[in-house]
Structure 1
């Protein structure tokens, strides 16, 4: 059997780390350049240098003042999803059910409700769900992204922001996101690239030189405590090439666009350059329509 293919052990699937091995059969490449102009035309007008500077400037507050970081990110994310949904379906988010995989303490809830959507976050960690004074009673669901407790085709939009790099099997989670999305709905998966400037999260760029464990040890020596994100436990190396390989090969999804989340529109071409994209894209957005 091809070692890159799925294997069954005791009746369960084992998933390989690389998405290129996840679906090993040859698949035609998606004409991203043509589709970008249709699926992302509205959002492209919003993707300015001013927006990039504003969002990237807020990153320094992620640990010290999460409200100052996550609230503007939530507003920007809701606007992005609204634009992408209009580009893919011709309609806004009014009346749509948006499932947020890894929704955490609910920073995104208000932003999506303003857009008229029914917002439903899924979060496996109860401490994350209650980290802020945001009432999600009767809305939030505790569950794993790799085994979503949602029926097939139940939501109009399935969205995940900066979660895949914290999941040991990110492409299994991506498959689940497609499963729970209705035909014609969209999946938007956004994640931080390992070799980008934020790949090590709070351990900084030291993972370039020291690796994940070495960067964590350095952080502990300087700060006197463990980093929030520990390589191999809550932080994993996820790459641009693997996300695009999964998106192009997903049997129930049509890849509409792939672009850097925080870059201005004129820098989106970086996604098409192998190796360079792993360092300079920083955060990849994949947009798929459920077949």
Structure 2
């Protein structure tokens, strides 16, 4: 049975069925509340994101394969300081984070066995070497995100799953800590943040934050020869609001975060 996404429902029902049941308004409100702590209490923010990520990946993998993550190799591209490690280990997965920035790897004082320092632009892994490759809120920090996405497909075994989830520039969180002023331009938002706080933002527009949109990802996803797009939906929205991905301008403003799900070739 072909499960390819057809653009009419926001995702293949077979792949997204389990996660769709979890994607309730209550979940959306809870995540929005926790996300308000990104700068002030990152443990709360990343803890919520970690729990949501393992549920997302676990549900999608079961939808694709009918199997659990137990014993599967899960590669997290842009794993940062390792906030996701515990929840993935608890799921039984063999979790491997890869992160290019040494200071970021140790930012939270965590020690993750098996973590790898390396660039998502040239992943230090063999072709077809992992069962699941995913990246959460990293692509918007990469100057050439589709090079990274192709690398993620390269290292995923044929029939395995690749999941790319990223923040949309024109959405409410697109400017990260400089929001909502990013609507007036990334450079303006960065300078205003510096004037207000006395230091530059962590995410500097044009250097470590870029204006990536939903349309950009969907165009790449439909044309890559290395994977089959199975689903595309707004990560933090309730299931009944996934239809916004079908509307070109609306999805840029309201989707906030786009999830692209692939079966690797």
Q: State whether structure 2 residue 37 is matched by structure 1 residue 37.
A: no
Distance 1:249 1:156 in 2: 22
Report how far residue 36 of structure 1 moved.
2.1
User: C-alpha offsets along residues 2-27 of structure 1, whole Å, 9 cap, x if unaligned?
Assistant: xxxxxxxxxxxxxxxxxxxxxxxxxx
Distance 2:7 2:57 in 1: 18
Report how far residue 30 of structure 1 moved.
4.4
* Correspondence for 1:95: 71
> When the two structures are aligned, how many residues end up with a matched partner?
261
Let me know the Cα RMSD of the aligned residues. 1.1
Distance 2:121 2:239 in 1: 32
Gaps of 5+ in 2: none
Distance 2:8 2:64 in 1: 15
Q: State whether structure 2 residue 143 is matched by structure 1 residue 171.
A: no
Tell whether the 8 Å contact from 2:82 to 2:112 is kept in structure 1 after alignment. yes
Tell whether the 8 Å contact from 2:5 to 2:232 is kept in structure 1 after alignment. no
Which aligned pairs between 1:190-269 and structure 2 lie closer than 5 A? 190-209=165-184, 211-269=185-243
Gaps of 5+ in 1: 1-28
Which aligned pairs between 1:56-75 and structure 2 lie closer than 5 A? 56-75=32-51
Residues 30, 50 of structure 1: CA spacing in aligned structure 2 closer, same or farther, 3 A cutoff? closer
* Correspondence for 1:3: none
Tell whether the 8 Å contact from 1:157 to 1:185 is kept in structure 2 after alignment. yes
Tell whether the 8 Å contact from 1:159 to 1:188 is kept in structure 2 after alignment. yes
* Correspondence for 1:184: 159
Report how far residue 98 of structure 1 moved.
0.3
User: C-alpha offsets along residues 211-268 of structure 1, whole Å, 9 cap, x if unaligned?
Assistant: 1111111001111110000000000010101101111111010100000000000000
Structure with bigger gyration radius: 1
- 104, 112, 137: which is aligned to 1:136? 112
**TM-score, normalized by length of structure 2?**
0.96
Report how far residue 133 of structure 1 moved.
2.3
Tell whether the 8 Å contact from 2:99 to 2:117 is kept in structure 1 after alignment. yes
Distance 1:125 1:151 in 2: 21
**TM-score, normalized by length of structure 1?**
0.88
Tell whether the 8 Å contact from 2:228 to 2:262 is kept in structure 1 after alignment. yes
Distance 2:8 2:19 in 1: 15
